[in-house]
Amino acid sequence: MQKLFAKSIKYSWAIIIGVLLVSVFFFFKMKENTRMETNLDKYMPQNHPAFVYSNKAEKWFDIKDGIIIAIENKNGIYNPKTLQIIKDLSKKLMKMHEIDKNDVTSLYTADDIVGTEGGMDVRRFYKRVPKSEKKLEDLKNSVRHNAMVYGMLVDSTETVAVVVARIGDNVFSQDFYKRILDLSHKYEDKENKIYVAGRPIVEGTLALLGPADMKLMVPIVLVVIFLVLFLTLRSIKSTIATLLVVFFSTLWTFGLMATVNIPIYAVSTMIPVMLIAIGVAYGIHLYHHLSLYIVENQNADKDAAIIDMLMQMWRPVSMAAVTTAVGFISLLTSQVYPIKYFGLFTAFGVTMAMFLSLFFIPAFIHVTGLPKVKRKINAEANSGKDELAYKFTDGVLKHSTFTIIATAAIVALSIYGMTKVWINSSFLDKFEKNSQIVKTDAFINDHFGGTSTINVILDGKEKDTFKKPEVLKLVNKMQYDVVKNVPIVGNAFSLVDFLDQINMVMHADSAKYFKIPDKQNLIAQYLLLYEMSGDPENLTKVVDYNYQKLNVTFQLKSDDSKATKSALAAIEKYKKDFEKLGIKINYAGSGYKALVFTDLILEGQIMSLVMSVFIVFILLLLMFRNLKVSIIGTIPILITAVISFGIMGWLDIPLNSTTALLSSIAVGIGIDYAIHFIERYRINSKLGDKLSASKLTMSESGKAILFNAIVVIAGFLVLLFSVFPPNRELGFLVSVNMFTSFLGTLTIMFLLLYKSNVYYEKNKGAKK
């Protein structure tokens, strides 16, 4: 290694130029190919059985997510101006190349089923905007008598109407998002207020706020870290070199993502904060050792000082980076793409920060000169610091029983808190509660069935299953029961709604006939009549050609997992009843896929935690070659993980695609403290008795661990400035984790090392 480092110093300028050239390459790759992933379906593994089936069902019934534009007029929507807005918006949306004209639904485009002398007619509610009071009143009555429109496209207060534009996959873009918003708000005036919601709008807002959030946080974390570094290193040159390392490693990480065509997800915006907070630690360790060498060797030769720094520090720096990378690499066990890629590319960035610290920083020092440090050591100051460390050591040993009992109590409370942890699939919860998109979504949920959907796919064994009265009546009963008894479910829609409406209009609009006919032949006739009179494509969205598969859509007023599970639980009660009729229940649509998404988050979280702890344990075993030490070293991170999940439970912080990163981050960074402490304890154990070795270790390693924790905590606390609540929660939790891990290392782990007599087992004569 010494020859390698000596040779690298000779090529300092080549290394610096090489780093700059690679950075330029990655910069242009970023500029050329960086994109924000806005399709939330792309967050999920498409080969998962639930997603495979859902994707098939979406093709069968043309299931698409919709953009919902609500028009509110507090004086009522039945006036020429508001009705004209509904018409104009509908027509404009139908002309957009991203939207099929048949996928725009509003009061202007919807079908009104009416009875006639000859049977039944299906017509538009209006083509020309009605102007007279009589025509406006007729329109109002028509809507009130159509259950497929009243409460669905016009709310019960008759002050709000919606225009729904369903869009297909891979058509949504930031340009389209902007055009939708511009178009919608163009029609806003003093009387008519416009609200825009729906999953595509959530996607667009995420894509807009994600990069803006990163632009906000990166300067803040740079300022914070710069101040901490300068106060520590007392050198502008050293501070700049260390910051350049994390700047280049971050640039290379995003450049590599762009090169291999991996998009930026919402969670990816935290990578710069992670790399800056973590990567500076390597430079700090290098410069700290270099400063000590210069103090002890007042006439130090520049090359000799650099080589000594590298020879003494490459091993601990490398081990710290490897263990941190392992924590992130363990996230590859997750099937959730944002988490998987976050782990992979953050691990890459950490590794690059390590290599740049070991090669770029020495080259920088060789070119710019050694940092200026005070040549004399303040003996009294050092003595005071040692005395504090010694007192802390004595205090921990003196109160060891209390420390162990207190830790056990905290762990017990945390384990109970873990039972309260829940998984949240909501994408809306990524935004502030008072943000415009959340308020808009709440407004539409208050007036209509809900902006989130679950599609229940009923699969029969034989043709014409869903023309049978007993089957359709059971579907009707399920819809009514779920909507009535599950508060979060606002509405349901399927083939039975067509038949209820047709049966009523065929009996002179008598309300007592708003039900499923008792005879299969009559049902078949009604359906044939509708196909001939209306738009047959409307039926293809609720039933297949052979009437063997049925799509029932439930609208939910929330998109979180609790809401979805409550709806599914009510639906599942009908599973046996349908099975008796030879029908299977399956699920599809974005709402259901989001629920499966939560299960994958939990599964990935457990797997990544187990994997990271196992690999770290093996690394400790390889490094220290002592089973007892390896077990002791993993205890602080296990305690930290339990406490962190306990805090989540007690504070009602859900597990989501962002907070799922918690345990792996904590393990990857937190284990560094244990490694540094154990290594120094092992070395000091050769110098004397346990107490002396303990005090010396606490004085040397304890101080370094404290400072390292302060740097990392300061970096992660910057996430509190994020516009996304989950990011803030993660910043808080990781900061708490770092403090817990730091404190656990200097108390519980130290006590275990001390009480277990490790490194003194073979030394019978050692004082204890």
Domain range list for the chain = 1-33+211-374, 49-204, 378-419+626-768, 438-595
Q: How confident is the model at residue 703, as a pLDDT?
A: 73
**Better-predicted residue by pLDDT, 712 or 394:** 394
Highest mean pLDDT among 79-93, 96-110, 297-311, 621-635: 79-93
- Name the strands in the sheet holding 65-72, side by side, starting at the edge strand that comes first in the sequence: 104-105, 160-167, 65-72, 193-197
**What's the CATH code, domain 49-204?**
3.30.70.1440
- In CATH terms, are 49-204 and 378-419+626-768 the same topology? no
Is residue 526 pLDDT above 50, yes or no? yes
Alpha-helical regions (H) of 429-494? 436-447, 469-485
pLDDT band at 720 (very low <50, low <70, confident <90, very high): confident
Instruction: Say how far apart CA 768 and CA 755 lie, in whole Å.
Output: 10
> In sequence order, what are the residues at sequence separation of 6 or more whose Cβ sits closer than 8 angstroms to the Cβ of residue 433?
none
Instruction: Say how far apart CA 496 and CA 514 lie, in whole Å.
Output: 10
Instruction: Quote the mean pLDDT of the chain.
Output: 86
Q: What are phi and psi of 19, to 5 degrees?
A: -60, -40
Location of structure tokens 């796919």 = 457
- What secondary structure does DSSP assign to 77-139, as a single string? S-SHHHHHHHHHHHHHHHHSTTS-GGGEESTTT-EEEEEETTEEEEEES-SSPP-SHHHHHHH
158: tokens are 């008759």
Q: How confident is the model at residue 40, as a pLDDT?
A: 64
Q: How confident is the model at residue 380, as a pLDDT?
A: 42
Structure confidence by residue, pLDDT tens digits, 184-213: 989 999 999 999 988 888 877 877 777 777
pLDDT band at 374 (very low <50, low <70, confident <90, very high): low
Beta strands in 159-248 (DSSP E): 160-167, 193-197
> In sequence order, what are the residues at sequence separation of 6 or more whose Cβ sits closer than 8 angstroms to the Cβ of residue 749?
632, 633, 635, 636, 674, 677, 678
Helix, strand, or coil (residue 169):
coil
Provide mean pLDDT across the span 408-420. 93
Structure confidence by residue, pLDDT tens digits, 25-81: 999 999 888 887 766 667 777 788 888 898 899 899 988 888 999 999 999 999 999
Provide mean pLDDT across the span 614-641. 87
pLDDT band at 767 (very low <50, low <70, confident <90, very high): very low
Q: How confident is the model at residue 761, as a pLDDT?
A: 63
246: tokens are 């994390």
Instruction: Say how far apart CA 338 and CA 341 lie, in whole Å.
Output: 5
**Better-predicted residue by pLDDT, 90 or 615:** 90
Is residue 766 pLDDT above 50, yes or no? no
Cα separations (Å) of 406 from 524, 591, 611?
73, 44, 28
> In sequence order, what are the residues at sequence separation of 6 or more whose Cβ sits closer than 8 angstroms to the Cβ of residue 382?
none
Q: How confident is the model at residue 382, as a pLDDT?
A: 46
Is residue 376 pLDDT above 70, yes or no? no
> In sequence order, what are the residues at sequence separation of 6 or more whose Cβ sits closer than 8 angstroms to the Cβ of residue 292?
none
Q: How confident is the model at residue 213, as a pLDDT?
A: 79
Instruction: Say how far apart CA 409 and CA 425 lie, in whole Å.
Output: 32
CB–CB of 613/634 below 8 Å? yes
CB–CB of 71/83 below 8 Å? no
Provide mean pLDDT across the span 249-255. 94
Instruction: Say how far apart CA 546 and CA 540 lie, in whole Å.
Output: 10
Q: How confident is the model at residue 276, as a pLDDT?
A: 81
Instruction: Say how far apart CA 201 and CA 196 lie, in whole Å.
Output: 7
Provide mean pLDDT across the span 78-86. 95
Is residue 585 pLDDT above 90, yes or no? yes
Instruction: Say how far apart CA 333 and CA 609 lie, in whole Å.
Output: 10
Is residue 372 pLDDT above 60, yes or no? yes
**What's the CATH code, domain 378-419+626-768?**
1.20.1640.10
**Better-predicted residue by pLDDT, 648 or 427:** 648
Cα separations (Å) of 305 from 2, 282, 289, 296, 738?
12, 17, 10, 11, 32
CB–CB of 729/722 below 8 Å? no
Beta strands 549-556 and 193-197, pairing class? unpaired
CB–CB of 103/64 below 8 Å? yes
Is residue 763 pLDDT above 70, yes or no? no
Q: What are phi and psi of 423, to 5 degrees?
A: -100, 135
**What's the CATH code, domain 1-33+211-374?**
1.20.1640.10
pLDDT band at 291 (very low <50, low <70, confident <90, very high): confident
For the entire predicted model, the pTM comes to 0.76
Least Cα distance to 108 among 154, 63, 62, 67 occurs for 154
